[in-house]
Structure 1
Amino acid sequence: MKVRIQVVIEAENGEPEKVEEIARLERGALHPEELGLTLAEAKVLLHGMQQAVVTEQIVEYLEKFKTCPDCGAHRTRKGRHPLVYRTLFGKFNLVSPRLYDCPCQNHGRHSSSPLAELLSSHCAPELLYLETRFASLMSYGLSVELLTEILPIAEEISSTSMRRHLQRVAERIEGELGEEQFQFIEGCPGDWAKQPPPGPPLTVGLDGGYVHASDQKSKSEGWFEVIAGKSVQTEGGAKVFAFVNKYDTKPKRRLYEVLKSQGLQMNQQVVFLSDGGDTVRDLQHYLSPESEHLLDWFHITMRLTVMRQMIKGMTAELKPDDKHPETAAVLADLERHLDSLKWNLWHGNVLHALQRISDLDDGLGMLEENPANRKKLEKAVREFQSYIEANQAFIPNYGDRYRHDETISTAFVESTVNYVVSKRFVKKQQMRWSQRGAHLLLQTRVQVLNDDLRKTFGRWFPGMRGEEPAALKEAA
């Protein structure tokens, strides 16, 4: 069996049809591997079709520039230069003519290149979209291998150009972000009361992760912090965001735009949970008048667990013939103080909790000997006291919230840090990052994870507003 595949082009100006053969296939006895098209044949076919279509589109586009739109006079050509344009289905070397303007335009001897002005980026939007999408989900090298395996672009894409294209997209996204503000609360209580009934409450969790810095002498030293967060709607739906803390100049605007995209109104309740660090605490202020700021229970109980393990370790080291038998009683008292401390914090009794911390500190001073980890425990107790004092305004009655099925922990953000930051930047990745490179990659990555990247490209290039192929989803 022989198959000839042709492209038939119908011109709109009445010219005869153009028929161009782009591929020939031959098949003999049927084998499973020869049923239908092979990947190699499909690449050749797509490249041939793309070549035919691109050639005719360029000819048709340049045709309307050959004459002056005002007087109809023929425009003389100054010269021509090659123009490389990369698409999903191959790289094409185009010829871009430079034409003189018509004398009736009164521009002197000015010239222009219509094709170069149209194709200024030299990379098709669809290819740019796929490069950005896959490079946001996996390493640049693997993204190049994947695209060259399935698309007829041969070895025309490199990891360097892919990184450059992704950063260009990220910079355009960043350029659309509004100016930073100290507060985003608009209007007055009277205006808020006139707004429509608000949507369900939003729960926002923030936490930090760390990425290897590229400006260090070795891989074992040098990290910088990345803040990641997740905004969850009560009735389902969530969006993530992330930024490099020391690089980003618009962190509060970034968070506000995420909330705004979820329909935030000034009369809508927003619950912020964080670990109590200064960075995330300052970030969440003055975004909504109905906001509630809570200290994450997970970070409290994590510190309590560490102190408990230290006390248990000191207890386990006691010997029957210990010269100071009262040490065991003091350690037992410390453990009871710790239980009381946790109980008071769980029920929001901050003043009683601070008293229990003082009891812990006093109890450590009563130890007549210096068991192992004593100094570490003293340091942990004093740091915990400072931590609770600094965040006492954000400690609610966790038990009451828990009984009413309200969020008390940022556990959902721990997983967010994992798949937004760690999975691409840390785990199994041998790269070290500059703050700028990590920040820009984070912006495209969250767009992909939020299913917003296709919408962004559709806004930039209206012809791409179609639905995203289902095969590309859930690749993260």
Structure 2
Amino acid sequence: MAVEWTITIEGKNEFGDVCRKAVRIDKSWERLFDGDLGLSIEDGKTIMTALQSAVVNHEAETYALFRRVCPDCHTFRPVKDYTTRQIRTVFGTVEVRNPRWMICRDCYPGMVVAFAPLKEICPDRATSELMELTARLGSMMPYRQAANVLADFLPIEPTETHATVRKRTIRIGERLDDQSAEEERRARMATEVTEERRQFEMQLPGDRRKEFVISIDTAHVRSADLNSARNFELVVARCGRGGRGEPGGRYFVTSSTDQTAIRDRALHALQQEGYCGFGHVTVISDGAEILKRLPRAMPKPTAHIIDWFHIAMKIQPMQQIADHMARSRSGLSEALPTINRDIRAVKWRLWHGRVDRAIRNLEQLLARLKASQGDGEFSVARLHSLGSQLLTYVRSNRGAIVNYGKRYRAGLRVATTLAESAVNSLVGKRMVKKQQMRWSLHGAHMLMQVRTADLNGELRDRLREPFRQPEPNVPPLFKPKPPLLRAA
């Protein structure tokens, strides 16, 4: 026993024409004993495929008819020919009629140009929604898994394989990268005019939002190029405004370690947060050499701060070893009675920005540890090694160590927590920690552009931006001027 369901789809266009399409679904009673109740995913695919076919055909025919009217003389343009065009959508592939119109011969005499109106709204033979969905899934999970997810829930063609997902993701990343490059160029031109000026804002006491903060870090990705190094670096940053508790701001990722490229990306992200080229900018990094180039290239005033978390993590193992030595009550604790207190004093002075005193205390501490290494104690040797590393780190970043306590009490940021979380959410889950793939520099960069735009909440708007202003079919040079304007 079976029940036949008929679903009728009816639509009416602007001229009053009615279009009807019926979809039949057979449901047998035997399936109820298997727990198959109601409509299944396959039934939903069948219904949505029929509905999508009707809607896409109607909209394509309407838009083609709209583009046939000449905007200058308001008459129909001549017909070149009629072909068919397959458009891939999230609810299946639809074959539509694809006419080609000639430009108006009265308005443009002597010119023979034909154009396809459907190419203006669907240049990739796929809707922007399908391109966006494919790119978003491809940036979040492996390409094969993304293709399987699309095939499980959407009525797409079997040709939508992992290779299709990869190509679309990279293509979308290239478009986003080109848009960012153009916006960065405009932002750079705007900052060159106002390089020596300051922000035109009222300076309120305790206002944390007057400071623009760039939390920046690097991520290592396995390289697929056999002729290059084993890993390459991606620069990951988050640009925001305000102190702790404020929104983190916008993400940006770049595979280029060039000083100008990182600066342009940072200026573009800060511009979206309200930066006009003449504000107070603070760059917080872990002291890597490629990240030290950014503060020197940014507009003035720009300050560079070493992340306090990295300083504290270098002191923490020293503190643990010193606490163990104090609890053990061995001969080392009698030879170095103040080792625990000295390490805490170094940490306190670094927290309050007293770098010179901290360096002197570290040098004295290392001298005492070196004198005590003759006892053959492993703890002393390890403590001396960690202290030497800390001393080298502090000396090389002396100018970027500030009064962290004062900034913390003022509610300002003192660590690259935002950058560390950005590395985990952007790069770590997709490329490093869980996935064992090897990446090319170009592929990783383009994939990160998609992922960054998705996390910034602008992927959909940026993909639809080129469709909002269709390109003219005739160059402006050949467009005739009205008689009055030509006479003037």
Band the TM-score falls in, shorter-chain normalisation: 0.7 to 0.9
Matched to 1:455, the amino acid is D
Q: Which residue of 1 aligns with 2:484?
A: none
Q: Which residue of 1 aligns with 2:91?
A: 89
Q: Which residue of 2 aligns with 1:446?
A: 452
- Residue of structure 1 aligned with 2:274, choices 263, 266, 271: 263
Q: Which residue of 2 aligns with 1:349?
A: 354
Pick closer, same or farther for the CA change 1:172–1:340 going to 2, 3 Å: same
Map of 1:18-417 to 2, 5 A cutoff?
18-24=19-25, 36-63=38-65, 75=78, 77=80, 83-94=85-96, 96-97=98-99, 105-107=108-110, 111-116=114-119, 118-177=121-180, 178-179=184-185, 184=191, 187=194, 192-193=199-200, 199=209, 201-216=211-226, 222-234=230-242, 236-246=246-256, 250-265=261-276, 268-285=279-296, 287=298, 289=300, 291-308=302-319, 329-332=334-337, 334-366=339-371, 367-368=373-374, 371-372=377-378, 378=384, 380-417=386-423
CA contact 1:201–1:269 (8 Å) conserved in 2: yes
CA–CA separation in structure 2 for the residues paired with 1:347 and 1:194:
29
Pick closer, same or farther for the CA change 1:436–1:374 going to 2, 3 Å: farther
CA contact 1:202–1:269 (8 Å) conserved in 2: yes
| Structure 1: gaps (5+ residues) | 464-476
Matched to 2:215, the amino acid is G
Task: Out of 372-381 and 198-207, give the one that drifted further.
Answer: 372-381
Matched to 2:261, the amino acid is K
CA–CA separation in structure 1 for the residues paired with 2:215 and 2:270:
12
Task: Out of 451-460 and 365-374, give the one that drifted further.
Answer: 365-374
CA–CA separation in structure 2 for the residues paired with 1:406 and 1:110:
61
Pick closer, same or farther for the CA change 1:369–1:71 going to 2, 3 Å: closer
CA contact 1:247–1:436 (8 Å) conserved in 2: no
Pick closer, same or farther for the CA change 1:195–1:460 going to 2, 3 Å: farther
- What do the CA deviations read for 1:344-365 (whole angstroms, capped 9, x no partner)? 2122211111111221332243
> What SS does structure 2 have at the residue aligned with 1:229?
strand
How far 1:375 sits from its partner (Å)? Answer: 6.5
CA contact 2:77–2:101 (8 Å) conserved in 1: no
CA contact 1:144–1:157 (8 Å) conserved in 2: yes
CA–CA separation in structure 1 for the residues paired with 2:36 and 2:170:
41
- What do the CA deviations read for 1:258-298 (whole angstroms, capped 9, x no partner)? 22212225665444322122222322445464544322211
CA contact 1:225–1:244 (8 Å) conserved in 2: no
CA–CA separation in structure 2 for the residues paired with 1:443 and 1:263:
21
Task: Out of 187-196 and 342-351, give the one that drifted further.
Answer: 187-196
Pick closer, same or farther for the CA change 1:254–1:109 going to 2, 3 Å: closer
> What SS does structure 1 have at the residue aligned with 2:86?
strand
Pick closer, same or farther for the CA change 1:184–1:374 going to 2, 3 Å: farther
CA contact 1:240–1:416 (8 Å) conserved in 2: no
CA–CA separation in structure 1 for the residues paired with 2:265 and 2:5:
55
Matched to 1:347, the amino acid is H
Matched to 2:163, the amino acid is T
CA–CA separation in structure 1 for the residues paired with 2:117 and 2:9:
27
CA contact 2:198–2:278 (8 Å) conserved in 1: no
Matched to 2:173, the amino acid is A
Matched to 2:19, the amino acid is K
How far 1:89 sits from its partner (Å)? Answer: 0.8
How far 1:433 sits from its partner (Å)? Answer: 1.3
CA contact 1:136–1:444 (8 Å) conserved in 2: yes
Matched to 1:434, the amino acid is S
Task: Out of 400-409 and 191-200, give the one that drifted further.
Answer: 191-200
CA contact 2:190–2:277 (8 Å) conserved in 1: no
Matched to 2:87, the amino acid is Y
Pick closer, same or farther for the CA change 1:290–1:110 going to 2, 3 Å: closer
- What do the CA deviations read for 1:98-137 (whole angstroms, capped 9, x no partner)? 5666766554765544444553211100111111222222
Task: Out of 428-437 and 150-159, give the one that drifted further.
Answer: 150-159
Task: Out of 451-460 and 421-430, give the one that drifted further.
Answer: 451-460
CA–CA separation in structure 2 for the residues paired with 1:315 and 1:216:
51
Pick closer, same or farther for the CA change 1:185–1:96 going to 2, 3 Å: closer
| Structure 2: gaps (5+ residues) | 470-488
Q: Identical aligned pairs, as a percentage?
A: 25
